Amino acid sequence: MGPANTRSTVEGAMLSAITIIISLIALYVPVLGVFASLIWPVPIIILGIRHGERTSILATAVAGIAVAMLQGPVQSFNVVLGFGLLGVVMGWAIRKKFSPYRVLLIGGAASLLSEVALIVTTIYLMGFNPMKMELSAMKDSIDMVGNMYRNMGASPEMIKQIAESYGKILDIFTLAIPALLVLSSIVSAFLNYQVTKLILSRLGQKLEDFTPFWLWRLPEYTVFFFLLGVLLNLLEYYWPVGVLKSIGINLQLIFGFAFIIEGFSLAAYYMGRFNVAKILRVLFVLLVFFNPLVSQIVMWAGMFDILFNFRHI
């Protein structure tokens, strides 16, 4: 065995061990585990970049076997199917020297495919629907909120209004599950790319970066898809076939989220241009997240920036 093969084997074993450790953290450490589960594919991505997809596939299989021995086959199945494909595919795409945006698109598609496959196989092989379990838990939380207000002495009319408003949100959430899966897949791919880039930079290997955030600008056709979603939502009232509202809500959610990102980019550009203090920038971000009116303004600002190119990018 030559030096290159030895190095590949040693590094593969080390990164597989790291993958297993991340799996244990994701299962047993409550707060840190959420972040650990998101970056699980990173060691697999790094192996794919440095040693090829065969090594990354082998490491994924080894990690899956180890997780099955430590945590059981169900957890191994969830981890490998949920994140293994993302790690292998992103490592392959980066090794092929695709642009960051193409890697993000490919990685997002792989993550979405993994999530759908995980849901389908869970339904058919394990006999329960994880999405229904989530919805059931949310319905139980609505009942808990109603009981809390009842104990506080709220009137039955007020409790009924609160339950109806939460119920409407739950109905929208049910219809918007495809959009939530798409958005979570893109965010997962982006996060894994950035973490991989950070780690490889420490190892002396540079990955191509995205365009600076304050210069991000989405293509104009994104506005068309958002408006199409609005139109389909309105058509549901006149042509109630059931599917139009679902498609419309998903289009609005996906591209509305994209417009908020564009709005943040626009705000970052002008905050940098006018040298706005960091504390004010933090307050602005908090307002967007916690004030629906401000988030709507940012979304519409992002959409109009796409149409009129305020920054002349």
| DSSP 8-state symbol, 127 | S
Q: Do 310 and 225 fall within a single domain?
A: yes
pLDDT at 313: 81
Residue at which a domain ends, from 202, 225, 242: 202
pLDDT at 240: 67
Q: Do 28 and 109 fall within a single domain?
A: yes
CA distance readout (Å), 105 to 90, 189, 212, 254 = 10, 8, 18, 14
Mean pLDDT of 13-36: 78
Whether residue 150 lies inside any domain: the answer is no
Name the least confident of 142-146, 221-225, 264-268.
142-146
C-beta separation of 173 from 156 below 8 A = no
Q: Do 73 and 37 fall within a single domain?
A: yes
What average pLDDT is seen over the chain?
A: 86
Q: Do 13 and 108 fall within a single domain?
A: yes
Residue 49 sits in a domain of what CATH number? 1.10.1760
Domain residues for the domain of 291 are 212-313
pLDDT at 5: 64
pLDDT at 89: 96
Whether residue 182 lies inside any domain: the answer is no
Whether residue 146 lies inside any domain: the answer is no
Q: Do 233 and 90 fall within a single domain?
A: no
**Residue 172 Ramachandran class (φ > 0 left, ψ -120 to 50 alpha, else beta):** alpha
Is 310 in a helix, a strand, or coil?
Answer: coil
Whether residue 61 lies inside any domain: the answer is yes
Residue 297 has pLDDT above 80, yes or no: yes
Where residue 268 falls among pLDDT bands split at 50, 70, 90?
A: very high
Name the least confident of 53-62, 96-105, 186-195, 251-260.
53-62
pLDDT at 16: 75
Residue 10 has pLDDT above 90, yes or no: no
Does residue 194 or residue 138 have the better pLDDT?
A: 194
Whether residue 309 lies inside any domain: the answer is yes
Residue at which a domain ends, from 202, 229, 246: 202
Q: Do 196 and 285 fall within a single domain?
A: no
Mean pLDDT of 238-266: 90
Q: What are phi and psi of 228, to 5 degrees?
A: -60, -40
- Extract long-range pairs of 94-98: CB within 8 Å, 24+ residues apart: 94/45, 94/48, 94/49, 94/193, 94/196, 94/207, 95/48, 95/49, 95/52, 95/53
Report the alpha-carbon distance of residue 73 to residue 277 in Å, rounded: 51
Domain count, the chain: 2
pLDDT tens-place string over residues 114-170: 999 888 888 887 777 777 777 777 777 767 777 777 777 767 777 777 777 777 777
- Structure-block tokens of residue 193: 């790319």
Q: Do 239 and 93 fall within a single domain?
A: no
Q: Which of 32, 17, 22, 39 is nearest to 87 (CA)?
A: 39
Whether residue 242 lies inside any domain: the answer is yes
Whether residue 123 lies inside any domain: the answer is yes
Whether residue 185 lies inside any domain: the answer is no
Q: Do 198 and 218 fall within a single domain?
A: no
C-beta separation of 305 from 262 below 8 A = yes
Q: Do 269 and 197 fall within a single domain?
A: no
Where residue 241 falls among pLDDT bands split at 50, 70, 90?
A: low
Q: Do 198 and 288 fall within a single domain?
A: no
Q: Where are the alpha helices (DSSP H) in the chain?
A: 3-28, 30-38, 42-51, 53-71, 73-79, 85-95, 100-126, 130-151, 156-175, 177-202, 221-238, 243-273, 278-290, 292-308
pLDDT at 2: 52
C-beta separation of 64 from 22 below 8 A = no
pLDDT at 178: 93
Distance of CA 30 to the CA centre of its chain: 19
Name the least confident of 34-48, 138-152, 247-261, 295-309.
138-152
Where residue 3 falls among pLDDT bands split at 50, 70, 90?
A: low
Residue at which a domain ends, from 144, 175, 202: 202
Report the alpha-carbon distance of residue 250 to residue 226 in Å, rounded: 9
